[in-house]
Chains A and B, each alone.
Chain A
Amino acid sequence: MITFIIRRLIATVFLLIVVSMITFAIFFLIPRLAGQNSYQLATQYVGRNPSRVAVLQIEAKLGLDKPLYVQYGDFLKGIVLGVHYNAGTSVTYCPPPCFGYSFKSQQPVWPQMVSDLPVTISLAIGAAVLWLVGGVAIGIVSALRRGTLFDRFSMGIALAGVSLPIFFTGLLSLALFSYKWPIFPNITFVPFTQNPLLWARNLVLPWVCLAFLYAALYARLTRAGMLETMSEDYIRTARAKGLPERTVIFKHGLRAALTPILTIFGMDLGLLLGGAIITEYTFSLHGLGLFTILAIQNQDLPEILGVTMLAAFFIVIANLVVDVLYAFVDPRVRH
């Protein structure tokens, strides 16, 4: 078990290095392959109507004139150790993990992302709890009462849930519950540490909308998994032993049906932690998702790079957690 975890950890470190290489390549290699030289690259970092001196200064400061492998080394070093940017006259220090300075705000990217992180985490975790509990419960009941009114009704809703985008359900719920009947007025993010009650109240609508989308998917997955599992031979064995139906369903059926869902859940959560872009945009919650949108709108390369790395990091870590959990759940993986 411990060797398994260590193996997975090593694999994860390698994966992160590969991720950093790919991200680096996207931002620094591909423009060159497309014919840009380091001067043109540097121009992007200077602002409108740059003077040649300013561009050359930036080129030197960011090290764009160095060979690519040196640049990649610096890039990694910046993330791990921080960077001293030498602009000739002054030296600015960007503490680790350094993803560079935002074009727009002239601030290091990392602290900005960190300040947006609680919003995204609050949103993702809250919604995840909702959809996991709701979706799985509905899925189980649907599977066990297959073909009944409940099954058809909930699967119909689930179909709607999968099909309706957040910008529809989100705007609709805002219009109804924030404006027409102001049960949840003035949705802004309030940190949990500041006022847990207000934190929760303001997040109810985004949670429900985001969870609805996923719960629908999970209900369908759970239903399908449960139906498949309940027709397995070992379920027949469990019944042949004379176990009560409750034990058959929950101990033997659900255990096996939920295991694959664990994988998908880990991936979904990891993906969401990188920013629930549409939800955050719809509800104007300033999390990583909105951060990403603004970064793209502003063509703020360091910000885009930073958020890309962070999102990739979350997914890789989620992968690791799922793998380890899976080994706990499924003995066949352990041995």
Chain B
Amino acid sequence: MAEPLLDVRDLRVQFPTDDGLVKAVDGLSFRLEKGETLGIVGESGSGKSVTSLAIMGLHHGSNAQITGHIELDGEELVGAPAGRVRELRGSKMAMIFQDPLSSLHPYYTVGAQIAEAYLVHNHVGKKAARQHAVDMLGRVGIPQPAARADDYPHQFSGGMRQRAMIAMALSCDPELLIADEPTTALDVTVQAQILDLIWDLQQEYHSAVMIITHDLGVVAELSDDILVMYAGRMAEYGRAEDIFDEPGHPYTWGLLASMPRIDEARLERLVPIKGTPPSLIDVPSGCPFHPRCRYADQTGGRSQDEVPALRDVAPGHRVACHLTADQRRTMRAALLSADASRAEAGTADAGAAEARAAEAGAAASPITGGDA
């Protein structure tokens, strides 16, 4: 395997607080190849954003303790001089954030803010930087970019602001683009446009993209690989098809079940995952998911006592779960058939259910549910 662009090994990010040590990221390892897209999925507080900020070296000013390895193109970032990380930031790795309005400075024009990002890493004049900013705005699909470059962020719509953020992030042609919940703050109609834009630009720039979200639907469209995080650890990792077709971790099942789907005329209610994400100060013993796991009692007490190791369930598909492969298969099958029967019970006539099944089969979408 070629040298990955991003190689994260045993990353730990901890914050000492008055209440105790917050283990925001606890031994996370993953790789990202050039030009690939990795989706990181998990609930709030699962350590997704903390991980991305650690890669960017943006835990500045906080008391974060970062250990482990983050290698970008072979260069170690953990413990690297702040000045060196700063040089890489914006040029080799760039990031877009959740809320484009609060992420853009209200007092400077959009064009100036993009030009600033270009100027700091390139020895060019102000005019050239501005021209580059206008070009970038045009590339992310902002009409009349030369005129709009002189607008302030509040004069842009939400979707245009996120486009401007993307233009800013891509202005120095970074090899790694981290998108932290890039569509969460946007209208649903705009979300798809932004995801399309990220996809198109990735094809154009051949950047590796790390997309962080709590929405499996978002990563479904974009990702090559998916990393499911829970309580600062990896719960499951695999190719996107694996995660959607053969999800191995009960938590991933829960995420999938709680995801609204519009490709199927699903009539039953969404199934939320019971409980709340654990406190990262007092992470549950053993498997951190066990207090919320429906199958925790089937592991003979190991869930409570033993941290599940990551095991390969298929080539390149790893799951941190105590359940055996057989147990998983039976439970998953039971879950799906329960799903299906509930759906049929909710359907007014059986014809619709059949149509649904046929449609689901024909859609050949990566989101078709397992063995259904």
- List chain A positions with a Cβ less than 8 A from chain B: 230, 232-234, 236-245, 247, 252, 255-256, 259, 329-332, 335
Contact = CB atoms under 8 A, between A and B. Distances in A.
Contacts of A240: 56, 58, 89-90, 94-95, 97, 169
Contacts of A255: 107
Nearest to A238: B105
A335 B105 contact: no
Contacts of A335: 152, 154-155
Interface string B91-112: 1001101010011111101000
Contact of A256 (B86, B97, B107): B107
A256 B61 CA distance: 19
A244 to B, nearest CB: 7
Interface stretch (B113-121, B229-237, B314-322): B113-121
A330 B106 contact: yes
4 tightest A-B CB contacts, nearest first:
A242-B90, A242-B89, A233-B102, A241-B117
B122 to A, nearest CB: 11
A233 B104 CA distance: 8
Contacts of A237: 97, 103-105, 113, 165, 168
A234 B104 contact: yes
A256 B58 contact: no
A233 B97 contact: yes
Nearest to B107: A255
A329 B90 contact: no
A331 B109 CA distance: 9
Interface in B269-300: none
20 contacts: A233-B103, A237-B97, A237-B104, A237-B105, A237-B113, A239-B58, A239-B86, A241-B94, A241-B116, A241-B117, A242-B86, A242-B90, A242-B91, A243-B86, A243-B90, A243-B117, A245-B86, A252-B105, A335-B154, A335-B155
B141 to A, nearest CB: 20
Nearest to A252: B105
A232 B107 contact: no
Q: Which of A240, A252, A330 has the most CB of B within 10 A?
A: A240
Interface residues of B, number: 32
A236 B90 CA distance: 12
Contacts of A332: 106, 152, 154
Contacts of B104: 234, 237
Contact of B107 (A230, A239, A331): A331
Nearest to B152: A331
Contacts of B99: 233
A275 B87 CA distance: 53
A328 to B, nearest CB: 11
Nearest to A237: B103
B117 A234 contact: no
A245 B85 CA distance: 12
B107 A241 contact: no
Given A256-B105, A330-B106, A242 B87 contact: yes
Nearest to A248: B60
A230 B90 CA distance: 19
Contacts of B107: 255-256, 259, 329-331
Contacts of B116: 241, 243
Nearest to B88: A242
A241 B103 contact: no
Contacts of A230: 61
B102 A239 contact: no
Q: Which of A233, A242, A252, A256 has the most CB of B within 10 A?
A: A242
Contacts of A329: 107
Contacts of B86: 239, 242-245
Given A238-B105, A259-B107, 17 more contacts: A230-B61, A233-B102, A233-B103, A237-B103, A239-B60, A239-B89, A240-B58, A241-B90, A241-B94, A241-B168, A242-B89, A242-B117, A243-B116, A252-B105, A255-B107, A331-B106, A331-B109
Nearest to A335: B155
A242 B121 contact: yes
A234 B91 contact: no
A98 to B, nearest CB: 45
A335 to B, nearest CB: 6
A250 to B, nearest CB: 13
A224 B120 CA distance: 29
B120 A244 contact: yes
Nearest to A231: B61
A242 B91 CA distance: 8
A244 B121 CA distance: 11
A241 B89 CA distance: 6
B180 to A, nearest CB: 10
A249 to B, nearest CB: 11
Given A240-B58, A244-B120, A335-B152, A234 B102 contact: yes
A231 to B, nearest CB: 9
A242 B93 CA distance: 10
A256 B106 contact: yes
